[in-house]
Structure 1
């Protein structure tokens, strides 16, 4: 049985953009699409609807917005099987439960009310950090969301980079028939942190030492990338892969890469089940600031 792509729908502009993105994703992947609304979403986002004479206005609003989302998805991807559900619980609880039986969970970056002024909504951040399946937060400008750049970016971390994230990125590049760019940042350490003191300034010795240290750190970053990419072996011979080693911070390297990308893929390690994923400061920064949709892929190994 094929697990669906699940979209959290709350009626906000961000969630409608998530519906659009997920409809396109379902069409290229051949997976069914499930639109889910949690009826307490408005309460958590600071919206308090008035009362109706016959039925609660919250129920009426929920039915209308889910119907609108379904019509929108059907219009964008007529061949995709679409189902809907309205559940009377808080959104984080509902979406985390949905994630247990989903291929991918898709969320907008913001909700209604005061949260709309924040960089990333509280619901999206909580779910991205705790879901059992990959989560895509659909952010960025319209060209990035509609895959105009034909480029998926994979952020390569340290030697423990998630194999699941690598496979996810290659699969996305194949579905989209686009190139995959693997990005790894490296930095030469500050002089005071060098394990060996710099060579004396004789015949360019200090400069040569600095060049050697820089080369060593770049080679280490290259080795980390080799290790991360090796997990796919020859599974995706049709995917065009480009490697990008960038000197500087990982935050800057990834932000620069997302400007011309359709999707950024990041792996995340699990902590104890009750604590969710171990999201780094860089991953938090991407969820808040990336110029394209961001997929957080939990490691299963």
Structure 2
């Protein structure tokens, strides 16, 4: 039997998990999905006090989070589930029955971006569904343009040398439900021994190996990867950005003006690649990590 479509958020009563639950509630409403709150604890301990809290000291973490969301989002269907610990195993189990999973991360100002806890990092590296990491302290207005008229772009980082359909499917849908443009970013470099230049991309007449041809091939590959998804989502404006340099650096810059940053993770390994690891630790927008072949 097919499992119902549901968006899941992990909560432990911490401020970062409560911010993640608020973000997940808004996303569930945008997508027309129920929201499942999961707390991996066999006990019913009182939750820490939160800024929005009411005087309900006898309620546990899960009940208080569900109550808060029911008041803030009365039209949202909320499912509260307590799972036995350990939390990593519990979250990985519910991820198998979810459209995607949302977790919180502690945020800092400036360049530092996220501090990703060990549970969130382990789940993100092993989950079979996309995982969204939400920075504590983020506000709904942060996702909007400066005049508040619409959403900032969804940014997706692509490696056009491999499969990208899972990333593009998630990114186009995220842009569509927001009515936001999609920025498809691919960064490329040449092998270090053949790239003695600094300050910008090399040109064919200055570098052996025909860098101009390499750039043209990457540009065609980027356009080809995006083309079919443009047809499926004709209302989503798309900007293709081919950039020279390290992907992590360019995605960090692009994320400063993004409502959501989407990156990939290989399914055949239980770890994050270098670019994805850099992105989840440093960008300031929410980050979706999408598993792919």
Aligned match of 1:285: 278
Query: Does the 8 Å contact 1:144/1:260 carry over to 2?
Result: no
Hey, what does 2:232 align to over in structure 1?
A: 235
Greater alpha carbon shift after TM alignment, 164-173 vs 136-145: 136-145
- Give the C-alpha shift of residue 85 in structure 1: 1.3
Does the 8 A contact of 2:19 with 2:136 survive in 1?
A: no
1:231 Cα deviation from its structure 2 partner: 4.2
Alignment of 1:1-301 (within 5 A): 2-39=4-41, 58-61=43-46, 63-110=59-106, 119-139=115-135, 142-143=138-139, 146-149=142-145, 150=151, 151-190=153-192, 192-193=193-194, 208-210=205-207, 213-232=210-229, 234-271=231-268, 275-276=269-270, 279-299=272-292
Cα displacement (A) at 1:252: 0.6
- Counterparts in 2 of 1:124 and 1:231: CA distance versus 1, 3 Å: farther
Give unmatched runs, 5+ long, in structure 2.
48-58, 108-113, 146-150, 196-202
CA distance in 1: counterparts of 2:6 and 2:274, whole angstroms: 30
1:24, 1:76 within 8 Å by CA — same for their partners in 2? no
Is contact 2:194–2:207 with CA below 8 Å preserved after alignment? Answer: no
Alignment partner of 1:94: what SS? helix
Shift of 1:28: 0.5
**How far, CA to CA, are the matches of 2:122 and 2:235 in structure 1?**
36
Runs of 4+ in 1 over 4 A off after TM superposition: 143-146
5+ residue gaps, structure 1, are: 41-57, 112-117, 195-205
Q: TM-score, normalised by structure 2?
A: 0.81
Residue deviations 1:251-272 (CA, integer Å, cap 9, x gap): 110000000101111122211x
CA distance in 1, matches of 2:205, 2:284: 38
- 8 Å CA contact retained: 1:140, 1:291: no
Q: Which residue of 2 aligns with 1:200?
A: none
Residue 234 of structure 1: how far off its partner (Å): 1.0
Tell me if the contact between 1:110 and 1:124 (Cα under 8 Å) persists in the aligned partners: no
- Does 28-37 or 214-223 show the bigger shift? 214-223
Separation in structure 2 between the aligned mates of residue 169 and residue 285 of structure 1, nearest angstrom: 19
| Native 8 Å contact 2:188 2:247 kept in 1 | yes
How far the C-alpha of 1:233 sits from its partner, in A, is 5.2
Comparing 58-67 with 159-168, greater Cα deviation is found at 58-67
Q: What do residues 35-80 of structure 1 show as CA deviations (whole Å, max 9, x unaligned)?
A: 000117xxxxxxxxxxxxxxxxx52326522122112222332211
Aligned residues: 263
Determine which structure has the larger helix proportion and give its number: 1
Root-mean-square deviation (Å) = 2.7
